[in-house]
Structure 1
Amino acid sequence: MADKNQTNAPEHHTGDYLENPEAIAGQISKTEQFVENNKGLVLGVVAVAVLVVAGFFGFKYYKTSQNEKAQSEMFQAVYYFENDSLNLALNGDGNSLGFLDIIDEYGITDAANLAHYYSGAAYLKQGNYDEAIAQLKDFGADDLLIQAKAYALIGDAYMQKKDFESAASYFKKAADYKPNKYFTPGYLLKAAIAYEKSNNIEAAKESYTEIIEKYWESAQVQQAKKYKARLGGNSAS
């Protein structure tokens, strides 16, 4: 005898539903009706999507063209920098833009980013250490050489300000950025000296040891051994 509570309704499976042409047609019809009833909303969404895509590619094109223009404008400033005409490099000569002008006028470009680096280096040469630090901190790159060099220049500026703890931190940051046998030993040596001046003797010994053990072929290794021995450490390890 069948259970009175049992229904004879057929079971519906997702697969059956999706494969049913009539069900699919019904869903399409409902979608078309929704679009018909909400034309404004649908057109608005489509318009926004088109604007976003167009805006992205438009901005990318604009940034590229601005960067090319900025690089051309910066040529003279780089020439002045390389010839130690630092005021002209920073502020321009009345006809050609200086690095600070490039930053102001082409701030979104890679050229303006590089101008921060040049400006920081110029201010450091002039003895304007606070401005040097500010400009170099605004610079950022992912290459092997120049980013680590920027960190080291910040360390140099802090050393001149006798903020030895901050100097050591930036020299170590330079050393830790993509370590290599060409530049890292020099940064480690600077870090060790700064650590010594900030009375962080253990950190100084660690930096000397890293030069001795990892960069034993470097030009800095003999200094590292000498300075570590002076601190009471075994210069051979």
Structure 2
Amino acid sequence: MATYKKRGYKPKTKADKANAIEEQSATAEVFNTLDEGASRTEAWVAKNQKYIFIIVGLAAIIVLGYLGYNKFIQEPKESVAMNDMFQAQQYFDEAIAAGTEQDSLFNLALNGGEGKFGMLDIISEYKSTKAGNLASYYAGMSYLKLKDYQNAVEHLSNFKSDDEVLAPIAQGGIGDAFIQLGQKEEALDYYAKAANMSTNAFTTPMYLFKAGNITLDLGDNAKALQYFNRIKDEFASSTEAANIDAFIGKAEAASN
């Protein structure tokens, strides 16, 4: 146990003197060890400073290169890509709003027109950009409207987003494509995923309703009842809730 000794303390007995010598020796040993460690460190640094400078220099080059790439290459590329996609996006919007000639407009959105890029060109030319990613969504939805379900699944699967509306719609679109391909189990997986990706009054009840109907069709009445009850409990003002009691009754009757 360590004891406090007043400044100017002098050992009086032989035992005290022996202890004092031992403490001084231990202290000296500690400082010698630290000195030796520092000397070894200094020697290692001196020996390897060339490699240290190279490593530090490479790290600086990587960081500066990344910042420079984003500033002088990626950002301008993003801007050009969005400009090139503008006409194709207009074709897509017109197709959604149009009552007739939708197919021709969706084809223009995909393949371009008037010398302008289509969504497929944007995907090919600007794959690593946000515009290229968004073009995968537009292409997938266009193929879905054109009843080309395989291509719809492919392009919608390539679309990555955290947006609380677009992300569920893309997953739900894959579900819609699988329904048309006669693959109900796969469709159900995507409807359930779409319903759970985010909670909002638009996409959540829509895909809960689709999931409930497919589940009911597949014979899992208890699970279908969970989907329908969630619509009634959490989204009472949604379009899907208007006749939800009828579907709840249908699921309950099928369970008995």
- Whether these two folds match at TM > 0.5 is yes
Per the alignment, residue 88 of structure 2 pairs with 77
Over 3 Å counting, the alpha-carbon distance change for 1:136 and 1:11 in structure 2 is same
Q: So what's the TM-score if we normalise by structure 2?
A: 0.77
> How far apart are the structure 2 equivalents of 1:30 and 1:172?
59
Answer yes or no: is the 8 Å Cα contact 1:71–1:111 preserved in 2: yes
After the TM superposition, which residues 34-49 of structure 1 pair with which residues of structure 2 at under 5 Å, given as runs? Answer: 34=44, 36-49=46-59
Per the alignment, residue 102 of structure 2 pairs with none
> How far apart are the structure 2 equivalents of 1:218 and 1:36?
72
Q: 1:157 offset after TM fit, Å?
A: 0.8
Residue in structure 1 matching 2:149, options 123, 129, 132: 129
Q: 1:36 offset after TM fit, Å?
A: 4.9
**Superimposed CA distance per residue, residues 27-49 of structure 1 (whole angstroms, 9 cap, x where no aligned partner):** 48963x55554453233213211
Q: 1:227 offset after TM fit, Å?
A: 1.5
Answer yes or no: is the 8 Å Cα contact 1:164–1:197 preserved in 2: no
The two structures, once aligned, show a CA RMSD in angstroms of 3.0
Over 3 Å counting, the alpha-carbon distance change for 1:92 and 1:182 in structure 2 is closer
> How far apart are the structure 1 equivalents of 2:106 and 2:202?
28
Q: 1:57 offset after TM fit, Å?
A: 0.8
Answer yes or no: is the 8 Å Cα contact 2:149–2:177 preserved in 1: yes
Per the alignment, residue 230 of structure 1 pairs with 250
Answer yes or no: is the 8 Å Cα contact 2:136–2:156 preserved in 1: yes
**Within the alignment, does 1:197 sit opposite 2:217 as a pair?**
yes
Q: Which has the higher helix share?
A: 2
Segment of structure 1 superposing worse, 130-139 or 201-210:
201-210
**Within the alignment, does 1:145 sit opposite 2:165 as a pair?**
yes
Per the alignment, residue 174 of structure 1 pairs with 194
> How far apart are the structure 1 equivalents of 2:69 and 2:190?
35
Answer yes or no: is the 8 Å Cα contact 2:216–2:251 preserved in 1: no
Per the alignment, residue 59 of structure 1 pairs with 69
Amino acid at match of 1:86: F
Amino acid at match of 1:146: L
Name the SS of the counterpart of 2:161 in structure 1. coil
Answer yes or no: is the 8 Å Cα contact 2:225–2:252 preserved in 1: no
Over 3 Å counting, the alpha-carbon distance change for 1:87 and 1:13 in structure 2 is farther
> How far apart are the structure 1 equivalents of 2:235 and 2:205?
7
> How far apart are the structure 2 equivalents of 1:168 and 1:13?
76
Which structure has the bigger radius of gyration? 2
Answer yes or no: is the 8 Å Cα contact 2:191–2:210 preserved in 1: yes
Answer yes or no: is the 8 Å Cα contact 2:87–2:116 preserved in 1: yes
Answer yes or no: is the 8 Å Cα contact 1:211–1:220 preserved in 2: yes
- Structure 2 gap ranges (5+): 1-13, 96-104
Answer yes or no: is the 8 Å Cα contact 1:205–1:233 preserved in 2: no
> How far apart are the structure 2 equivalents of 1:159 and 1:131?
14
Q: So what's the TM-score if we normalise by structure 1?
A: 0.83
Answer yes or no: is the 8 Å Cα contact 1:151–1:173 preserved in 2: yes
Segment of structure 1 superposing worse, 164-173 or 39-48:
39-48
